[in-house]
Structure 1
């Protein structure tokens, strides 16, 4: 598992534990200044910050992986090259505007090295940490969409396909989920008029935040995996199609006491050998380290119907 994914999931588990300790406000004492309200208010801010941290760090992980595979910047689609450079310069400028003079020189020198890999066709690409999500205080849906679309992802179609295949259509569109959670964060941070709804928050931590992270990660990983493979083979980059994403679901069957495995690509499904309950972790390690089906995204749905973890091609 990627470090960004592992730490994001640990953070979500911590949030769930923290939220479970908050009591509902005493009747008639649901003030926006009560201890219970302030605790939940703070957790709304932290939860969205954890999502933002995941989006930034996971993006950097995937871009770095492509560079380590010796893919050159010149091989990227033109829109992707332009977007990466523009966002890097915007991100650096935003960062420098908020830092002391002592920090500015080191930051510029380090990022000049990264930017040079975009200009020198003999160097493998090394992304700047400012490549995505650093040009303003909070990541917006507009930024997410523009970034993914710069390298050929049809965001609406891909997100819709993925959430349907996860069987989470009842949550609404990923774009709608993101907008709602971002609005909750902004109200909690600035307005103190967020409704006290502990059950909704816990459900968001258990499911909604993870679904958003998964949908973004899967779109990012598969589209850039396709670019990486084309570059390594010296082939033209094909248009990205959400139907080409191969998902391997691992869902717990409480009646049989085992994990059911289904591999799906497009409309084709293949029921695979189930996993004994106690063998899940060993099997996930095998998925990570195996030589076959490296283009698959493997995800686990636990007995409560919640997304538990996932593994990506990159």
Structure 2
């Protein structure tokens, strides 16, 4: 600059000015990448940290930038030298000891005690893990060496009487999570996600349901009805509830049946087709005596209900009558 001020020859002045301008532009071009890195580093730093905690390493390809990857990684290294190692040839940052891993302990509780019931616990995120448990009340599941990150924790009971429960958790340390299952009706489960107006569609199909029920003594999703098959399970469950019938799910099918009729049919089998101590298979009952192909567990409930009523003092048979209680269904 001093040379420019003291110059008396206009030609020499221009030459010196052009040289100074070129030098300044070169200096600005050299500084520009560093300025870009410094300006955008705050946005990139958090993503580098998250990836390191999850994966244990970060390469230039992992960054949300199109160039200057080495400069971004190098600046991160200079700020976190005690935590990571830097290889500029890749370029790559590596967390000392690898990515973070923790243990997730899960307890799943039914609302009341009972027989052993199955529940599947799933942890899904950067990795997916699954545990199947059986418990009368509280199930315990443990997931070890889970990488740092956000996960969806889901408990799915096998019993249709209970709904699934889901929670989002952040695994940034060893954690314990409690999930509580709640009773849910089969209707609610079958109608979840159904995107039609049931109150508008049901009146147009109810007469078909009623006539078929009178013919067959039950309804099933295996039967054909003039409605899209995806809506039939929900429609059957709603119709059953409104008509005072029961609905169950068995072998992937929804079955609507008359509980009182089945109960009387089972009582007739026990009273007239079995001697004390004899047994009969579920398939034989369904094939020869019952008006609806319900599940084994439904038959068991009906048999237990019959035995409970018959064992009350007012229903006990006299000594002259055959004892109809000593029967088994296999």
What TM-score results when the alignment is normalised by the length of structure 2? 0.21
- Bigger strand share: 2
- Rg larger in structure: 2
> Which structure is richer in relative contact order (CA contacts within 8 A, separation 6 or more)?
1
What TM-score results when the alignment is normalised by the length of structure 1? 0.22
